[in-house]
Amino acid sequence: MRLNQIKSRDVQRAVDDYIASIHTDAICALASSFRDGEPCRIFMEMRKGSFNLCYFIVFNSEPESDKGDKWVVRIPIVPRLGFPEEKMRAEIATMKYVAQKTKIPIPRLFGYSVGSDNLIRVPYMLLEYIDGRQLTQDDVASGSGERRKHIFEQLADIYLELYDQRFDSIGALTLDVDGSSWSFGCNRPLSSTISEQELGGLDPSAVVPVNRTFASAIDYYYALTGLAFNDFIRARDSVLTEKDARDDLYDLHKFRSGIMDWVDPELNHGPYCLMHGDLLPSNIIVDEDCNIKAIIDWEWSRTVPPQLFVPPGWVSGDDIASACHGVKSMFLAAALSRFDRALRTRIQTSSRYSPELRRFPFLHPLASLWSKNLDCESFCIAYALLRPDKCIEIFWKILDHYYHGSESRESRVRAFYEADASSKQNKLVQKKMDEAAEYLKELRSLGIEPKPREECPPAATMEQLRIQTSHENGLPQRTNARFLQRLVGFLTPSASTYRFPDYHYHLALLSGSSLIAASIIILRWIRK
């Protein structure tokens, strides 16, 4: 939840009151009204997600039996949403579109209301209950190689289906005027970031207006970085110290300028493809053999430029900020390579494609795109744009060193502000410090302890440690990184197309015996 501590407390109280106002008797009456009064009952405990409540019902009045059709009554947690109706209209429209245009398995939609003029007095969706379990990161990180391959190939099928959905602008599907079908072309690409900023009173619609769609990728990327700037400028708790303010503002400017070199001009004007906005493992329902039974939670889906159409951030079994940092970047690169191979395998075996594509799968537009855009740097940039609330963290943890190597970060930040001592950046830093003082004062008056910010060692300090330890081990700088990079390239040939940041491995910190141990671990992991 990206809300300041005061707002978060107030929202949680509103959420508790909202949940308490919902009665299971009314939920059962609502479901029965869609089945000519057939009786039903709750058969499973309610589940609460970040933005929705799920009540599980079975059309069977016998308490000892679970036989009968099962539905899910999905209710948005309105106090947790900045634009609840817009979010619901986009989600319902996307589900209708996916059911009509693709073979992606999703729950059937039996009924819905985007307002509160109904039996339960809150918006809802009535969905088919999918029997199974949620996929977990452990299925990917700790499962057998065959199981991981099976999961990746099924996900590749879904990515191919979504990539084939072509649109001429960047936006989101929504319901038509009478609410019965989907339409496209007049709705912004709503995201959880926009919703959270609205909830926090940051007015994200000043950056991405409700009816704003985008005809070019660059315009969209500028708007996404604009959301990151909006959070920094308007959020009361975005920074609490002068150092954080100076560092974050520097990172935002450098991240935005770096994107211009990353953009592929040939892909700037589309076509664009449909992307699931929150494809977490928990939104993938599988059986015990990890066969995908349904993809759920389409609420933040939108059309995106091809460069943002990347595999899920959790493919290596870790969150993106950790996966791209340190030795773990090796595992991420290997996981991306596996996902790419899974994609090509599905192209080779699918009757959807021509004999030529099945013979030469690398000719498929998505396979060709990924061969150029799945290195760790591009993957991190794409993920940071998809999650503007994470772009500062990803830049200072990962991208800063891609761009500047061992050059002192402290000196670069100082030079940025010394370029013009009276610049608006310096004035903005001072403004943030004044706001932070007022915010901390209010926290104290409410008896709330400020949450500490996550700390990361300065890049220069880590670089000095790497060099120092490398010399102590008697190894040339980057020797270990090169060794393991070649090892991965040998064991996973397609991984040789991916770039690995030598610095981020910190492998020079490994002694000779540790290097051998790390090599064995990586070898075993890659061969799974």
Give residue-wise pLDDT tens across range 59-86.
987 877 778 999 999 999 999 999 999 9
- Token pair of 142 as six digits: 């700790």
Class in CATH terms, 5-129 = alpha beta
Burial of 32 (0-12, 13-18, 19+ CB in 10 A): middle
Q: What is the mean pLDDT of residues 182-187?
A: 94
Q: Using DSSP, state whether 377 is helix, strand or coil.
A: helix
Q: How far apart are CA 487 and CA 115, in angstroms?
A: 57
Quickly count: other Cβ atoms within 10 Å of residue 508's Cβ: 24
Chain-centre distance for alpha carbon 308: 11
Q: Specify the pLDDT at position 454.
A: 64
Q: pLDDT tens-digit profile of 392-426?
A: 999 988 888 888 877 788 999 999 998 876 688 99
The mean of the pLDDT values for the chain is 86
Residue ranges, comma separated, of all CATH 3.30.200.20 domains in the chain are 5-129
Residue 437 has pLDDT above 60, yes or no: yes
Q: Specify the pLDDT at position 528.
A: 52
Higher confidence at residue 507 or residue 92?
A: 92
Q: Specify the pLDDT at position 490.
A: 44
Tell me if 236 sits within 8 A of 212, measured CB to CB.
no
Residue 489 has pLDDT above 80, yes or no: no
Q: What is the mean pLDDT of residues 310-326?
A: 76
- Token pair of 483 as six digits: 């060794």
Q: What is the mean pLDDT of residues 338-362?
A: 93
Residue 498 has pLDDT above 80, yes or no: no
Q: How far apart are CA 242 and CA 248, in angstroms?
A: 10
Instruction: Report how far apart the first and last C-alpha atoms of the chain are (Å, whole number).
Output: 36
Residue 466 has pLDDT above 90, yes or no: no
- Assign 520 a pLDDT band (cuts: 50, 70, 90): low
Residue 58 pairs in a beta bridge with: 41, 70
Residue 457 has pLDDT above 80, yes or no: no
- Assign 141 a pLDDT band (cuts: 50, 70, 90): confident
Higher confidence at residue 486 or residue 21?
A: 21
Q: pLDDT tens-digit profile of 206-262?
A: 999 999 999 999 999 999 999 999 999 999 999 999 999 999 999 999 999 999 899
Residue 478 has pLDDT above 50, yes or no: no
Q: Find the length of the chain.
A: 528
- Assign 451 a pLDDT band (cuts: 50, 70, 90): confident
Q: Specify the pLDDT at position 326.
A: 62
State residue 261 phi and psi, 5-degree precision: -75, -20
| Ramachandran class of 189: left when φ > 0, alpha when ψ lies in -120 to 50, beta otherwise | beta
Q: Specify the pLDDT at position 164.
A: 96
* Alpha-carbon torsion (259, 263, 269, 273), positive or negative: negative
Which of 310-324, 376-390, 452-466, 497-511: highest mean pLDDT?
376-390
Q: Specify the pLDDT at position 464.
A: 38
Q: Specify the pLDDT at position 408.
A: 86
DSSP state of 421: T
Q: Which of 166-170, 274-278, 494-498 has the lowest mean pLDDT?
A: 494-498
Higher confidence at residue 523 or residue 437?
A: 437
Residue 523 has pLDDT above 90, yes or no: no
Which of 54-63, 150-159, 327-336, 514-523: highest mean pLDDT?
150-159
- Assign 122 a pLDDT band (cuts: 50, 70, 90): very high
pTM: 0.86
Residue 102 has pLDDT above 80, yes or no: yes
DSSP per residue, 334-360: HHHHHHHHHHHHHHHH-TTS-HHHHH-
Q: Specify the pLDDT at position 468.
A: 36
